[in-house]
Amino acid sequence: MEMLLMALCISVFGLGVAALAFGAVGRPDPAEPEFHPEVAVRPAIPARFFSDIVLPVKPHPPLVPIEVLLQQIENHVRLEQAAAESFVAFPTQALLHCKTTSALVN
């Protein structure tokens, strides 16, 4: 009987120690900074991979002066109107889809 009581006491004591140890592990350490995913330190990766390879720069077509662009639009409208006049005078699918010589679209 005494042996049984001693074993029970040891078991209860052991259970208490285990619970304390588990609690200590689960509790956050106040000295440890909180984890913020957005401010997590990023590994020091170079800004560019293969920085020694220079990508070819696509040259932008030079902007035509606005007066030239307006003149191109006006010529385009006149050509398209002439094409439309031809179609309306004699409607055929070929005339509807005939190509234009307009510099605006060629």
Partner 1 sequence: MDHELLNGLSPAEIEQVMALGARELVPSGSWLFRLGDPADRIFLLERGRIRLTLPMQLRGGDEEILIEENAPGQTVGWSALIPPHRFTLSARAPLETEVIALPRTALREFFERSPQVAYKMSFNLCIIVGHRLQLVQTMWLREMQRSVQLRSDAGAR
Our measurement of the distance from residue 36's CA atom to the centroid of its chain's CA atoms, rounded to an integer in Å, reads: 22
Chosen residue from 3, 88, 94, 101 binding partner 1 by CB under 8 A: 88
Among 6, 10, 17, 84, contact with partner 1 (rule: CB under 8 A): 84
Of residues 39-68, those binding partner 1 (CB under 8 A) = 66
Alpha-carbon gap, residue 87 to 98, rounded angstroms = 9
Q: Which of 17, 20, 69, 103 binds partner 1 (CB under 8 A)?
A: 69
Q: Does 96 bind partner 1 (CB under 8 A)?
A: yes
Q: How far apart are the C-alpha atoms of 87 and 77, rounded to whole Å?
A: 15
CB 80 within 8 A of CB 101: no
Nearer to partner 1, 6 or 64 (CB): 64
Binding span for partner 1 by CB under 8 A among 8-16, 34-42, 53-61, 77-85 = 77-85
Phi, psi of 105, rounded to the nearest 5 degrees: -115, 0
Angstrom distance (rounded) from CA 44 to CA 11: 52
CB of 89 to partner 1, least distance (A): 10
- The H-assigned helical ranges of the chain are 2-26, 66-89, 93-96
Site for partner 1, rule CB under 8 A: 66, 69-70, 73-74, 77-78, 80-81, 83-85, 87-88, 96-97, 100, 105
